[in-house]
Structure 1
Amino acid sequence: TIVSGGDDGTVRLWSRSGQPIANPFIGHQGVVFSVALSGNGQTIVSGGNDGTVRLWSRSGEALGTPFTGHQGGVWSVALSGDGQTIVSGGIDGTVWLWSRSGEALGTPFTGHQGAVNSVALSGNGQTIVSGGDDGTVRLWSRSGQPIANPFIGHQRVVFSVALSGNGQTIVSGGNDGTVRLWSRSGEALGTPFTGHQGWVWSVALSGDGQTIVSGGEDSTVRLWEGSPQGWLRGACEQLREHSVLRDPDSSFEPAVAWRARRVCEREVWGVGK
């Protein structure tokens, strides 16, 4: 099941073959910026330029009344795996957590300087991640308490964030053209993924945190390996023809170079196993 939202103010549900499921969901006044689907495909959430968050059944029936609280457009929404918790972020710089009934769970999460462009929620609904115009990625507990300091690395705006199923790995994309992987403590996992020519609009992460997909202003979709093994493979391949590995004795620190070569041979190239 696929869900989409658009400039025409509608939310639409589709089968894998591209056939519409039910009529368009009508209720938002203006653009629908973000949509999400529960794990079982039975509940849909949407956020729009009218400042509301809306919950829908598969048939397009509105589940309760619109969730109101944001001052301005809702840029991003996400739904926990069980469909019981909704998170939203908006142009007002706040992150909100909601129950299915539309009740705000605590007070809005504040800290971003400028719009919150993207939010994501761990499978169990206990961890929230957000990215914004201030160039930071922020991790929050369910109660709205920051988990670690803001993650700083992107140059300018963060457009998209995602979380692995267990909430341990975070990925982000921004207008500096990079995709970045982070630990829960805000530590950068490896070097930024570069390749996009222009802004990275959207990122997603597989449940196990091993595979990242990104889409950008350059009209390309790119797939990346997110595991430490992936970073090691990439580093070794870049160094394969470098003198530091071809002739470790010639390097500035030969002992370190020899160890690096042995790691690449053993862990990546399958030599000496």
Structure 2
Amino acid sequence: MSLDLGDLVPKLEYPRILDEYGSGSVAVLTLPTVPRTPKSSRKRLYFQRSSMIPILLQGHERSLTQLKFNAEGDLLFSCSKDYVINMWYSCNGERAGTYDGHNGSVWTVDVDLQSRFLVSGAADNTLRLWNVASGQCLYTWEFSTSVKRVAFNEDGTQVMCVTEQRMGYPSTIRVFDINRDGDGTNQAEQPLHLFNPVGSKATVCAFTLTPDIIITGHTSGKVALYNVQTGEEIERNECAHHDHVTDLQLSNDRTYCITSSRDRVARIHDTKTLGVIKTYTTETPLNSAALAPTRPYVLLGGGLEPMSLTVTHLRQGKFETRFWHKVYEEEVGRVKGHFGPINTIAVHPAGTCYASGAEDGFIRLHHFDDSYFKAQPYGAVNIEE
């Protein structure tokens, strides 16, 4: 339903409009036509109310740590602090299976392009390789500290992991070759590449489009590029953030990425130069940021640390997924529902749905309705004759 508000819209309080609709709703605002006018004189033409009914996935007893869709988007993988990895059908939220074997909080998961292998890292100081279809643990690598982040390269022939800096052990990045022949149980025990990042410890990582070049985010807020063969830092942006980088997600073509941070800011970076392309500033620390692949939106999630929460914060409903216009850097909608800070957000590769996981232990799977796809994020298009 569209409402033409005319001159009434500028008199309303923008965030209040977005907050009115309660759980499972998102308000989408259409933005003006290009060229843009100054913010002081810009009018938002109308807004739509979209009644997206989420699917609530209950498969974890503790807070979520990461969500990941496979390349086709039909499967959603989730991990949490309860030692369990779950696999869900994204179409209906039915649980397809579990991966049991870790003896500590599972911090991270990733799945290869063919949905054949799954890798996971946990607080039991292990990196594990799984068969997606059977749930069998194919191989286990053991380290001195916990594994905080894992990532496959584009063709699934290598996997990278970041281990924690603790008990005198430095934060270390390792790259392993993945033997895809046979049943996958014959893997090399020693890493192909191993190095310690320069300066502050790395928290997130990903393979870029360029072979042997990875991008990392650090506790100091730095974002850097490394050559994994030499361990050399070839590029860095010390001022990418001013606090801990909490998430890093790549675009489909790996030419740019989005990062989130506890400094309450998310940014889009060029993966070759690390130049900042766009900035999204919020009022709460951010734990996750994701890119909508088919629409010009970014999704942000976060909230205050669990130990900092009060009854007042709970009543204010700060635990929302926030939609920002990727180009205009304006917040255009929010989706409520969680009862704790959002720790992880993942968007379907085709952009048809997204999932959020929070400190409350629940996953909320939202399928976008027609109004999301019919909205005009750049305003009405005038075709010149």
The alignment's TM-score, normalised by the length of structure 2, stands at: 0.50
1 or 2, which has the higher helix percentage?
A: 1
Separation (CA, whole Å) in 1 of partners of 2:74 and 2:251: 21
1:114 paired to 2:145: yes
Q: CA deviation at 1:133?
A: 1.4
Separation (CA, whole Å) in 1 of partners of 2:152 and 2:235: 24
Separation (CA, whole Å) in 2 of partners of 1:202 and 1:223: 12
Q: CA deviation at 1:220?
A: 1.0
Q: CA deviation at 1:34?
A: 0.9
The correspondence for 1:211, drawn from 256, 259, 262, is: 256
Aligned residues: 214
> Residue 155 of structure 2 corresponds to which residue in structure 1?
124
Q: CA deviation at 1:148?
A: 1.6
> Residue 138 of structure 1 corresponds to which residue in structure 2?
174
Separation (CA, whole Å) in 2 of partners of 1:216 and 1:32: 18
> Residue 82 of structure 1 corresponds to which residue in structure 2?
114
> Residue 327 of structure 2 corresponds to which residue in structure 1?
none
- Residues 202/38 of structure 1: CA separation in 2 closer, same or farther (3 Å cut): same
Structure 2 segments unaligned to the other structure (5+ residues): 1-23, 29-49, 166-170, 179-186, 277-385
Separation (CA, whole Å) in 1 of partners of 2:160 and 2:123: 16
Q: CA deviation at 1:183?
A: 2.3
Separation (CA, whole Å) in 1 of partners of 2:25 and 2:86: 18
Q: CA deviation at 1:49?
A: 1.2
The correspondence for 2:136, drawn from 103, 124, 129, is: 103
1 or 2, which has the higher strand percentage?
A: 2
**Greater RCO structure (CA 8 Å; 6+ sep):** 2
- Residues 91/173 of structure 1: CA separation in 2 closer, same or farther (3 Å cut): same
Q: CA deviation at 1:166?
A: 6.9
1:148 paired to 2:179: no
- Residues 14/33 of structure 1: CA separation in 2 closer, same or farther (3 Å cut): farther
Q: CA deviation at 1:20?
A: 5.0
Q: Could you give the per-residue CA deviations for residues 73-111 of structure 1, whole angstroms, max 9, x where no partner exists? A: 1011111122221111111121111111211122x1123
Matches within 5 A, 1:218-257: 218-227=263-272, 230=273
- Residues 226/188 of structure 1: CA separation in 2 closer, same or farther (3 Å cut): farther
1:41 paired to 2:73: yes
Separation (CA, whole Å) in 1 of partners of 2:270 and 2:209: 16
Matches within 5 A, 1:172-187: 172-187=216-231
> Residue 47 of structure 2 corresponds to which residue in structure 1?
none
SS of equivalent to 2:160: strand
SS of equivalent to 1:86: strand
Separation (CA, whole Å) in 2 of partners of 1:136 and 1:92: 16
Separation (CA, whole Å) in 1 of partners of 2:225 and 2:106: 25
Separation (CA, whole Å) in 1 of partners of 2:194 and 2:154: 22
SS of equivalent to 2:249: strand
Q: Could you give the per-residue CA deviations for residues 19-47 of structure 1, whole angstroms, max 9, x where no partner exists? A: 65762121112112111001111011111
After superposition, the CA RMSD in angstroms is: 2.8
* Equivalent pair of 2:84/2:102 in contact (CA under 8 Å): yes
- Residues 148/77 of structure 1: CA separation in 2 closer, same or farther (3 Å cut): same
- Residues 71/118 of structure 1: CA separation in 2 closer, same or farther (3 Å cut): same
SS of equivalent to 1:152: coil
Between stretches 141-150 and 41-50, larger displacement belongs to 141-150
* Equivalent pair of 2:207/2:214 in contact (CA under 8 Å): yes
Q: CA deviation at 1:205?
A: 3.1
Structure 1 segments unaligned to the other structure (5+ residues): 1-12, 235-273
Q: Could you give the per-residue CA deviations for residues 207-241 of structure 1, whole angstroms, max 9, x where no partner exists? A: 554323221111111222232xx37x99xxxxxxx
1:164 paired to 2:208: yes
- Residues 19/110 of structure 1: CA separation in 2 closer, same or farther (3 Å cut): farther
Q: Percent identity?
A: 22
Separation (CA, whole Å) in 2 of partners of 1:57 and 1:214: 27
> Residue 269 of structure 1 corresponds to which residue in structure 2?
none
* Equivalent pair of 2:226/2:235 in contact (CA under 8 Å): no
- Kindly provide the amino acid, as one letter, of the partner of residue 103 in structure 1: Q
Q: CA deviation at 1:189?
A: 4.7
